[in-house]
Amino acid sequence: MIILFRIITFLLPSLASACQSKVEVLPIRDVLADQKILDSFVKGIPSQIGTPAQSVVLMPYANVSALGFDATDRLKLGDTDFVETSISIPKYEWDEQHAGVHGLGLGPDSQYLKTLVEAGRIASRVWSMFWGRELVRGGINGSLVFGGYDAEKAKGRSYTQPLNFSREGGCTTGMRVTLSNVEINFRNGSHRSMILPRKTLTTCLVPHGRILWDNVPEIVWQDFWGTMQHSKRLPKMEWNGIHGKTRIFWSSQAFDGDITFVLQSGLRIRVPNDQYFVHQKVVRTSGIRHTNTFLKELLVQNVTNANATGKLSELGRFFLTAAYLMVDHENSTFTLWEANPSIKSTMVPVGKGGLSGVCKPSATPSSGTGDLRGSPLPSPTGSAESRDSLSNGFLAGIAVGAFAGVFGVILVLLWVRRQRRRQHTQETSFRPSELDGTDTQTNASDKIKPVEVPVSGIMTTRPAELAEENQIYELDAHEDERVATSQGLKGKRPRQDSQ
């Protein structure tokens, strides 16, 4: 049992290590920009910076890295501990449109990710993102995971590609996605393709982008816009708000179909209508954010800037309402899954060598709404195209089965060893008498004398003296005569000479 206890105490830390401090999770939710102003909400990562701490809201920027040339300060994201990290101060426009919140640099040279790895808080420079679902009532908060990903937010097959930050690639985030089709899904079950057969369209995934699809090529946009106009004959109005320059429509007349992006690998990402046709949000002069339910904004935009002509179209943060993203700077890859809008969480740490383990699901909801759909555990890295995912129960079964198997083998070995030891003890201490039929087991301690050990160190033994009734008599040359005499006495016991 001592051996078993030592084995268990050795295994338990290993089994629990995968779920300890190797993953950090941050919420992406509505945050009060000013604590003194009610409803002054801005969506992002609640954070604090400096001493004394000042509250700020951050947005993940995949194409920005703090290089440490400007300043160093204390930064606290969500409920995590403060960390001393580099802070860069932009001295030029780093985006074509105004940035509504501060940027958190998560590029390949991200000082924040490096700081977390050096502090032992995460195992690798891996981050994952789900924007959440924006609804008029309720909604589902998003999440940003450092050091791994949330298996509950991903389902089905994955799509993995290398990051490409080259100038020729034309994508500042390094995440080029090739589309084989874009479908407009109608409520009657039919759909219309926006890309001709055997044609593809390369886009750039920009997680901080403020709308669903920006810089749409004109040939695709005309078909897209014509489909919606033919469906509902929408009045055309423009608006410049928190989502940038968009087109707005009366809510009662807005197109009600979905959009499905079909990746070249076969992965299909279907964006619900209420995630790209959203109710208009207005920030008033008082700082209050107001939602106008009478109007809707279309978060799909064609090329409106002359400088954007010839650039790749961009899939923004609202693409991550229906897709789940993991960026792995250790292996220079990014992975996409179809998103599962769940309020549950199962954190999977990803080390520099790949998958590290599966942590217990969290029962803490990320919003007031229920779980919309269950999900199997996806593959951690996928292949160059895609890879089947593993279910939660399958991985848990492997872990439990392996531990149970080892535990069972240990018990069998201990039982066999105990049986052998018991058998050996019986043979040594309770050996039957070879002298006669008398039972000597119960008096064995009285008939066996201790062994004498001489001073010389050489062990010698002296046979134990037997009780009188069990004496053995040596036979000499007159053996036949004694036997005959004994028979002549007809059972009488021979007289013994006194010693």
Task: Give the tokens for residue 475.
Answer: 């036979």
Task: Give the tokens for residue 156.
Answer: 């089905």
Question: Considering the domain boundaries, does residue 485 fall inside one?
Answer: no
Long-range contacts of 265-270 (CB under 8 A, 24+ apart): 265/159, 265/385, 265/386, 266/157, 266/386, 267/156, 267/157, 267/158, 267/159, 267/336, 267/337, 267/338, 267/386, 268/338, 269/319, 269/322, 269/323, 269/336, 269/338, 269/339, 270/185, 270/322, 270/338
First to last CA, the chain: 56
| Better pLDDT: 27 or 79 | 27
pLDDT given at position 88: 65
Q: Is the peptide bond before 361 cis (omega within 30 degrees of 0)?
A: no
Question: Considering the domain boundaries, does residue 152 fall inside one?
Answer: yes
Predicted confidence band of residue 401 (pLDDT cuts 50, 70, 90) = low
pLDDT at 172 over 50: yes
* Amino acid identity at 6: R
pLDDT given at position 304: 72
Q: Which residue has the tokens 């669903």?
A: 212
Q: 281-295, 386-400, 453-467: which range is least confident on average?
A: 453-467
Question: Considering the domain boundaries, does residue 51 fall inside one?
Answer: yes
C-alpha 423/C-alpha 74 separation (Å) is 68
Q: Which of 315, 395, 290, 403 is nearest to 348 (CA)?
A: 395
Which segments within 340-491 are labelled E, that is strand?
Answer: 347-351, 354-355
263-299 per-position pLDDT tens digit:
999 999 999 999 999 999 888 888 889 889 899 999 9
Predicted confidence band of residue 158 (pLDDT cuts 50, 70, 90) = very high
Q: Which domain holds residue 157?
A: 18-401
pLDDT at 461 over 50: no
DSSP label at residue 430 = S
pLDDT given at position 341: 94
- Taking CA atoms, 98 is separated from 247, 277, 329, in Å, by 18, 22, 28
CATH number for the domain spanning 40: value is 2.40.70.10
DSSP label at residue 402 = H
Q: 53-57, 65-69, 326-330, 474-478: which range is least confident on average?
A: 474-478
Question: Considering the domain boundaries, does residue 461 fall inside one?
Answer: no
Task: Give the DSSP letter string of 161-186.
Answer: EE----TTTT-TTS-EEEEEEEEEEP
C-alpha 257/C-alpha 227 separation (Å) is 11
C-alpha 97/C-alpha 87 separation (Å) is 22
**Cα angle for residues 213, 215, 216 (degrees, 5° grid):** 70
- Write the CB contacts of 362 (distance below 8 Å, at least 6 apart in sequence): 344, 345, 346, 347
pLDDT at 339 over 60: yes
pLDDT given at position 373: 34
Question: Considering the domain boundaries, does residue 289 fall inside one?
Answer: yes
Question: Considering the domain boundaries, does residue 10 fall inside one?
Answer: no
Question: Considering the domain boundaries, does residue 36 fall inside one?
Answer: yes
Question: Considering the domain boundaries, does residue 423 fall inside one?
Answer: no
- What is the count of structural domains for the chain? 1
Q: 94-103, 162-171, 240-249, 262-271: which range is least confident on average?
A: 94-103
Q: Which one of 38-47, 332-341, 409-418, 447-456 scores highest in mean pLDDT? A: 332-341
Q: Which one of 148-157, 284-293, 343-352, 356-365 scores highest in mean pLDDT? A: 148-157
C-alpha 245/C-alpha 241 separation (Å) is 7
Sign of CA pseudo-dihedral 388, 394, 398, 399? positive
Task: Give the DSSP letter string of 75-143.
Answer: EEETTSPPEEEEE----S--SSS--SSEEEE-STT-HHHHHHHHTTS-SSSEEEEE--B--SSS-B-EE
| Better pLDDT: 369 or 476 | 476
Q: Which of 297, 132, 318 is nearest to 207 (CA)?
A: 318
Which segments within 206-257 are labelled E, that is strand?
Answer: 213-216, 237-241, 244-250
| Better pLDDT: 196 or 395 | 196
**Cα angle for residues 237, 240, 241 (degrees, 5° grid):** 120
